[in-house]
A = this chain, B = another copy of it.
Amino acid sequence: MNEIWFSEQLHPYYRKSLRVKQVLVDEQTPFQHLLLLDTEFFGKTLVLDGIIQLTERDNAGYHEMITHIPMLAHGSPRRVLIVGGGDGGSLQQVLKHPSVEEAIVCELDRRVVEVSREHFTAFGDPWADPRARLVVQDAFAFLESGKEKFDVIISDTTDPIGMAERLFSEEFYRLMLQALNPGGAIATQCEQMFFDAALIREIFTFVKGLVEHPAYYHTLIPTYPGGGIGFMYVSNTPWTAGLSRTYPEGLNYMNPKVHQAAFALPEFFRRQLADLLVDQ
């Protein structure tokens, strides 16, 4: 039997492969290689420069957790910035909060938006929402222009490789904080605790110098390396403020117990961060 498999290797010691039913898009954009695969079990899958970004099956664990944790901690965010996130998954979640008046997606690669809009129809075409605005620009330049302020910023980026490496720097965190209104909260994609502990510790260290209530939390994503990923919560408001808010309807991954559980760190990892931890 002929079988097509897509293999991903982000780390030199670990590969993961998904069985492919059909290659729907395979193109070099001006910024990266973009694959849109239809896979067995996981459904449609976006791959950028060889790394799986999301699948229909398991993206809720990513998009709900990167958005609702800071949104709920803030309580009533009106203006939200999504860095990257051209697939629309984070935008869909952000727009579930009735307090939101404007959600800007700052995505470098217009093709990610176009291809995702066509294929990830389960996101309900959040781009059609009058509150959504797409800015096709490098996030660094957008934030350096310093014109706009936000209540919540979500850094929904690829991994720290090539151009995206700058999005994991202290300089970028400072730029995000300069664009944050008082009482605001940030969540960033921040890698996996087993594989990337040194990077996470480095980021946590400088974030602790910038805000009062940093915290690391994590979620389950079978199609990500190691089966999950984590996020850095960056705010002067503790994440626990979110536990008492009203949750959006129609969630598929998050609930109040999962919200709390996400901040429970396995002992080996808690020890590695022990001198830095404030709220967990």
Q: Which of A56-64, A77-85, A178-186 touches B?
A: A56-64
Are the C-beta atoms of B13 and A16 separated by less than 8 Å? no
Identify the closest chain B residue to A255 (Cβ).
B267
Determine the interface band of chain A, counting residues with CB < 8 A from chain B.
35 or more
Q: Closest Cβ of chain B: how far from A225's Cβ, in Å?
A: 8
Are the C-beta atoms of A5 and B11 separated by less than 8 Å? no
Q: Closest Cβ of chain B: how far from A280's Cβ, in Å?
A: 8
Identify the closest chain B residue to A61 (Cβ).
B266
Indicate the member of A15, A40, A220, A260 with the most B CB atoms within 10 Å: A220
Q: Closest Cβ of chain B: how far from A45's Cβ, in Å?
A: 11
- Chain B residues with Cβ below 8 Å from A227 are 220-222, 224, 226-228
- Annotate A190-201 by CB proximity to B: 1 below 8 A, 0 otherwise: 001011000000
Are the C-beta atoms of B255 and A270 separated by less than 8 Å? yes
Are the C-beta atoms of A258 and B267 separated by less than 8 Å? yes
- Chain B residues with Cβ below 8 Å from A251 are 267
Q: Closest Cβ of chain B: how far from A157's Cβ, in Å?
A: 21
Q: Closest Cβ of chain B: how far from A224's Cβ, in Å?
A: 8
- Chain B residues with Cβ below 8 Å from A17 are 7, 14-17
Q: Closest Cβ of chain B: how far from A156's Cβ, in Å?
A: 19
- Annotate A237-280 by CB proximity to B: 1 below 8 A, 0 otherwise: 00000000000000111110110111111111010000000001
Q: Closest Cβ of chain B: how far from A220's Cβ, in Å?
A: 6
Q: Closest Cβ of chain B: how far from A50's Cβ, in Å?
A: 15
Give A5 to B253 CA distance when docked, in angstroms: 33
Give A17 to B39 CA distance when docked, in angstroms: 18
- Chain B residues with Cβ below 8 Å from A41 are 11, 13-14, 195
Give A226 to B194 CA distance when docked, in angstroms: 14
Q: Closest Cβ of chain B: how far from A67's Cβ, in Å?
A: 15
Q: Closest Cβ of chain B: how far from A79's Cβ, in Å?
A: 27
**CB of A19 closer than 8 Å to a CB of B:** yes
- Chain B residues with Cβ below 8 Å from A260 are 260-261, 264
Show the binding face of A for B, using Cβ within 8 Å. Answer: 5, 7, 11-19, 39-42, 57-58, 60-61, 192, 194-195, 220-222, 224-228, 251-255, 257-258, 260-268, 270, 280
Kindly list the 4 A-B residue pairs having the minimum CB-CB distance in the complex, ordered from nearest: A227-B227, A261-B261, A222-B226, A13-B40
